[in-house]
Amino acid sequence: MEIVHGGPGDVDDAAMIWAHAVALRDGYDEVPTLAEARPGVENALIDERSFLLLAVEEGRAVGFVAGGPHETDGVRRAFLNYVGVHPDAQGRGVGEALLRELPDALIKNGYETVELLVFVDNVPGVRLYERLGWIKVGDPVPHPRHGRVEQRYAFSPASRELGRESV
């Protein structure tokens, strides 16, 4: 597996990975279409300091992370909008490999910290973030649209060695 920096030409691949991953995670009867999945991924990448990392196996993207600026209180903070692994590649360390490469992308883009939201019932995701050194921020809260409970996590790229040693 290789982790590569993606660009605008990779948005469709990332969107379809997300569509398949979320359909499995949330038990959808049908996988969302590219037209349904693409706008969210595309919007996450509109800023010049946005980032997209792809996990590629045998020439095919099987996972990705994407995000961009979310600056508050003068802190150069990124928000990780997406961590997605295609169901065919889940359980093989793809998400972990992407998250281990993330600190370098964050530092390159000048970020001091990164945050994400994860549904508390996404047990594999929660375990992965915590194992890699992500820290809970605040209390879990219901998602404003559908009420599913999610937890905010934060990570500092400067602590990346801690995350690498914890495996």
- The pLDDT-based confidence of 66 (bands split at 50, 70, 90) is very high
Decide yes or no: CATH 3.40.47.10 for domain 2-165. Answer: no
DSSP string, 32-59: PPHHHHHHHHHHHT-STT-EEEEEEETT
Q: Residue 20 pLDDT > 90, yes or no?
A: yes
- List b or e across 12-39, with b for residues whose CB sees 16 or more CB atoms inside 10 angstroms: ebbbbbbbbbbbebeeeeebbeeeebbe
User: pLDDT tens for residues 100-138?
Assistant: 999 999 998 889 999 999 999 999 999 999 999 999 999
**Does residue 72 register a pLDDT over 80?**
no
Angstrom distances, CA of residue 66 to CA of 48, 84, 116, 142: 13, 9, 11, 23
Instruction: Evaluate whether 78 touches 67 at the Cβ level (below 8 Å).
Output: yes
The count of other CB atoms within 10 Å of the CB of residue 75 is 10
Decide if pLDDT at 39 tops 50: yes
pLDDT at position 164? 43
